Every structure is written in structure tokens, then in C-alpha cells.
Amino acid sequence: MDKVQAEKYLAYCFYLAEQGSGSVSPNPKVGALLVYNERIIGEGYHQQFGKAHAELRAIESVKPEDVHLISKATLLVSLEPCNHYGKTGPCTELILKNKIPELVFSNFDPNPLMAGNSIRLLERAGVKISGPLMEHEGHQVIREYVCNVTKRRPYVILKFAQTADYFLGKTNMRTKISSFASDLCVHRWRSEVDAIVIGKNTLEIDNPSLTTRHWAGKNPVRIVLARIAKNQRSKWNAFNNDATTYDLDDLGLKDAYSVDDLLAKLFELKLGIVLVEGGAQIFRFFTNQVFGMRPE
């Protein structure tokens, strides 16, 4: 397969991979295609953490009348196939079992268990390899996963709304400065992350639910950076039964904790993507310590 064709199909793999947003963390989002004679005969993406990988879904999607073409097709994947046993079997074994002759991939897997091991194994087995291709675009799809495996902490998204004259709101007063359209956008983001973080002021002033009620998707875990007595939690929406909620005591954090301390605790809970929705104090808490963040 030539480079122009490969990049066209990889772009579609990226699109497929993004369909797993909100469901696969802390695994990476991955999309895969099987192409024979410029025709897509199978496609799939990683849909849920612990379930079938994109490569298997692509193979399983092939129609019965096209199954005989798998051994003549090119497999395109947005990320290097796995080569280790976890919740599923190695995709390299799947590729060899189905006698797929050619693999095109976008990025090497940054996981130290992988880091090119699959590609080397497949090359030794006689599979034709093309890649990495479109590395920048492919990296954008897995940026959260890259942060998880290379920095050993959650990927952090810092969300805030401000007025045209650069104010976040009024002190100790609930101030609505965003629109319903932006609310929809935020609720979509919530459905795609593992946890939401707020501070005590946001809890007491806004009494937010921190759910995805305006968007289809799961409610993320809620993190309240305060100490809330057990017998006082029922009056706060963030402690209702819509999702799991942790405060500082639940996390086992001391009073003088740092951003690193907090993120380490959240990573222990397998929370790979965190959306920070607090006010000015929480914003300063996160930005006073320099680390890779994605402002929204």
C-alpha cells in the first residue's frame, strides 16, 4: 500500500479510535481497518476497557463472504498492536493466526512493555511493516494514554469560564457566565473523563451535581478537595448516589498536599483523565506547579 492510501485510511482509523472516548481509559483509544484491493472489508475500535481490542473487532466485523480475503488484506491501526497478555490476548498472535501479510501503523506504543516489540516480532515473522506514519495526528488521539504511561499520573484538563474582561466570577457568589451551549460542551467533556475535581468554595457556592445530565454518557468519579463530615454529605449534590465521590479524607491526603500528591492518589484509583472544574483557588493550585496540562 502506498503512503497516500495509507494516510487516507489511517485518518479514518483516528476517527474510529475517538469513538472510544470516555469508555477505554486508562487504555489507549485505538482504531483499526482491514483493507483489500482499496476496499475496507473490516473495521473496529476499542470500545470498552478490558474488552476486545480494535484489531479483533476489525477482524470480527468482516462479512462471511470476505473472510477468505483477510489473509490477503492490509491491517491499518492507529497504534502499534499489543504483544502481551492483559485482560485480552496479544494482538500480534491474532495477526499471525489470521496470516495478515501487511501492517500499517501510526505510532509506537509508549508503554515500556511494548515500545516497538510488536513491530519487531511481526517483522521477524515475515509481516510487511509500514510506519510510523502521521505520528503527530496519531499522538493527539492517545495523548492521555501517553501521559499515563510516561508520567505515571492522570492527564489533566483545566476547564474554566471567564468574562470578556477576564473575570472568573464574583467572590463568594454564584455567577453564571457561560451559556447552555457551553454547558452541553462541558457535559460532553465530563462523559469522556474519569474524574472531575472541584474545591470547597465551588461545592458550597454552586452545590453542583457534576453529572452528565445534558449529555449521553457515564457520570465520572467526583473529587472534592475539602474535608466533608460523613453526616454533612447528604446536603451536597456532589455526594449523591449518581456517582462515586471522594473527599480529602477518603483519599488519605494530609493538609499540606501538593498537586503531585493528589495526582498520585488519583492514578492509584486508575483515574487516567481528570477534568478540573474548580474556581480561582483550585485553578491557582494547579497552575502554580508546572506540568503538562490541556487548557480548554
Do residues 176 and 131 share a domain? no
Query: What confidence score (pLDDT) does residue 112 get?
Result: 82
Do residues 136 and 161 share a domain? no
Do residues 250 and 215 share a domain? yes
Query: What confidence score (pLDDT) does residue 216 get?
Result: 82
**C-alpha–C-alpha distance, residues 188 and 185, integer Å:** 5
Query: What confidence score (pLDDT) does residue 284 get?
Result: 85
Do residues 136 and 9 share a domain? yes
Question: Is 55 among the catalytic positions?
Answer: yes
**C-alpha–C-alpha distance, residues 163 and 176, integer Å:** 10
Query: What confidence score (pLDDT) does residue 296 get?
Result: 43
* Whole-prediction pTM: 0.86
Say how many domains are in the chain.
Answer: 2
Do residues 102 and 39 share a domain? yes
Do residues 132 and 260 share a domain? no
Do residues 144 and 223 share a domain? no
Do residues 146 and 230 share a domain? no
Query: What confidence score (pLDDT) does residue 219 get?
Result: 93
Is residue 6 within 8 A of residue 76, CB to CB? The reply is yes
Task: Select from 88, 116, 151 the last residue of a domain.
Answer: 151
Do residues 84 and 183 share a domain? no
Do residues 78 and 179 share a domain? no
Do residues 89 and 172 share a domain? no
Task: Select from 151, 175, 207 the last residue of a domain.
Answer: 151
Query: What confidence score (pLDDT) does residue 8 get?
Result: 97
CATH code of the domain covering residue 85? 3.40.140.10
Q: Which domain holds residue 136?
A: 3-151
Do residues 109 and 11 share a domain? yes
**C-alpha–C-alpha distance, residues 143 and 159, integer Å:** 17
HEC readout, the chain: CCHHHHHHHHHHHHHHHHCCCCCCCCCCCCEEEEEECCEEEEEEECCCCCCCCHHHHHHHCCCHHHHHHHHHCEEEEEECCCCCCCCCCCHHHHHHHCCCCEEEEEECCCCCCCCCHHHHHHHHCCCEEECCCCHHHHHHHCHHHHHHHHHCCCEEEECCCCCCCCCCCCCCCCCCCCCHHHHHHHHHHHHHCCEEEEEHHHHHHHCCCCCCCCCCCCCCEEEEECCCCHHHHHHCHHHCCCCCEECHHHHCCCCCCCHHHHHHHHHHCCCCEEEECCCHHHHHHHHCCCCCEEEC
Q: What is the mean pLDDT of each run of 10 residues along the chain (296 residues)?
A: 94 97 93 97 95 95 97 98 79 96 97 88 96 96 94 90 62 63 83 94 91 87 96 94 94 91 96 89 79 49
List 7, 18, 55, 268, catalytic entry: 55
CATH code of the domain covering residue 288? 3.40.430.10
Task: Select from 151, 181, 211 the last residue of a domain.
Answer: 151
